[in-house]
Amino acid sequence: MLSIISSGLLAANKEISTISNNISNANSTGYKRSTIEFQDVYAQTSEQTQNAITGMGTRGDTLRINHSQGSLKTTNMSLDLGISGYGMFMSTDATDGGMYYTRDGSFSLDESGQIITNTGKILLSQNGDPITIPFRVEAGDNSGQILEVDSISISAKGEVSANYGTNTKIEAGQIGLARFRNINGLKQRGLNEFEATNLSGLPTVGVPGNGVFGNIIQGSIEASNTDVSDEMVMMMRAQQAFGASSRLVQAEADIVSTFTKG
């Protein structure tokens, strides 16, 4: 009996930990809330008929990520990008060459002018190439004047352009987006990054605003899809389940103690 009650305690504790993580990331850009699924455990004993089963507690099955879109929050920063619709930004790690996917559009420029994620991964175009914005260019009027970048514009279709002064403009590339046949099969790496697995399948790559892919919203970032009010309700339910299991442990201990003394 204690093993059955213990499984309930462990299940409630796992749910409390999952909910706590959602609440703590309620203000994290692009965060996707998690839920944990549980299964009842059954067993058949020698005293039972063939079709009878005995409950043996519960166990945590899988952690599932809710990939629904969070609200878009305006920042007016030129390299803050939100996706309105389907798709994930693609990036690569210059160190290991791995491919990573995220909805966190908090981008910046590295020392070479490449657009990078907040974890230092390199943002990729639809062709899998880095998108580089030169900090300085030569004026196009043959004057030899060196101009510094004034502004960066990114269209709804992900087309990146940089403006230098009033008459010089450079097209830097077009941001690519990825979709997956089974988005729930992605492996979570932390820091709002995911990588493909056999369950997710290979990505379908396209450009924003084309077909099933969403539009890019410059100057906005996607907020967490965690609803703190809902999480608090689930937290109270999980805490009540934990408390009930704790009381069962005490009751079982009292029964065992009584029979032992008797």
Q: Is the pLDDT of residue 58 over 80?
A: no
Q: Assign residue 57 a region (left: φ > 0; alpha: ψ between -120 and 50; beta: otherwise).
A: left
**Do the Cβ atoms of 147 and 138 come closer than 8 Å?**
yes
What pLDDT does residue 40 have? 67
In 3D, which of 63, 81, 61, 97 has the Cα closest to residue 186?
Answer: 63
CB atoms within 10 A of CB 229: 7
Q: How confident is the model at residue 91 (pLDDT cuts 50, 70, 90)?
A: very high
φ, ψ dihedrals at 243, nearest 5°:
-65, -40
User: 136 — phi, psi (to 5°)?
Assistant: -140, 140
Q: Given this model, what pLDDT does residue 244 score?
A: 86
- Domain limits of the chain? 2-65+226-261, 72-222
Q: What percent of the chain has pLDDT over 70?
A: 90
Q: Which residues contact 190 (CB under 8 A, 6 or more apart)?
A: none
pLDDT in tens, 5-25: 778 788 888 999 999 999 999
Query: Pick from 174, 195, 181: which is nearest to 92 by CA?
Result: 195
pLDDT at 37: 79
Residue type, 203: P
The predicted-structure confidence for 141-187, as pLDDT tens digits, reads as follows 777 789 999 999 999 999 999 999 888 899 999 999 999 999 999 99
Determine the Cα–Cα distance for residues 156 and 146; give it in Å rounded to an integer. 30
Distance separating alpha carbons of residues 240 and 9, to the nearest angstrom: 11
Q: Which percentage of the chain shows pLDDT scores above 90? A: 67
Predicted confidence (pLDDT) per residue in 198-219, tens digit: 999 999 999 999 989 999 999 9
Q: How confident is the model over 68-90, as pLDDT tens digits?
A: 999 999 999 999 999 999 999 99
- Phi/psi class of residue 127: alpha, beta or left (left: φ > 0; alpha: ψ in -120 to 50)? alpha
Q: Give CA separation, 123 vs 56, 72, 114, 130, 177, in Å.
A: 49, 20, 8, 6, 10
Write down the pLDDT at residue 116: 97
Q: What is the pLDDT of residue 259?
A: 72
pLDDT band at 52 (very low <50, low <70, confident <90, very high): very low
Whether 59 has a pLDDT exceeding 70, the answer reads: no
pTM: 0.83
| Residues β-bridged to residue 154 | 160
For position 258, what pLDDT does the model report? 76
Per the CB < 8 A criterion, the answer to whether 105 and 82 are in contact is yes
Q: What is the mean pLDDT of the chain?
A: 88
Among 157, 200, 206, smallest CA distance to 180 is for: 200
For the chain, what's the residue count?
262
Residue 173: in which H helix or E strand, if any? Answer: strand 168-174
Q: What's the pLDDT at 68?
A: 94
pLDDT in tens, 207-256: 999 989 999 999 999 999 999 999 999 999 999 988 988 888 777 777 77
The pair of structure tokens assigned to 204 is: 């379908």
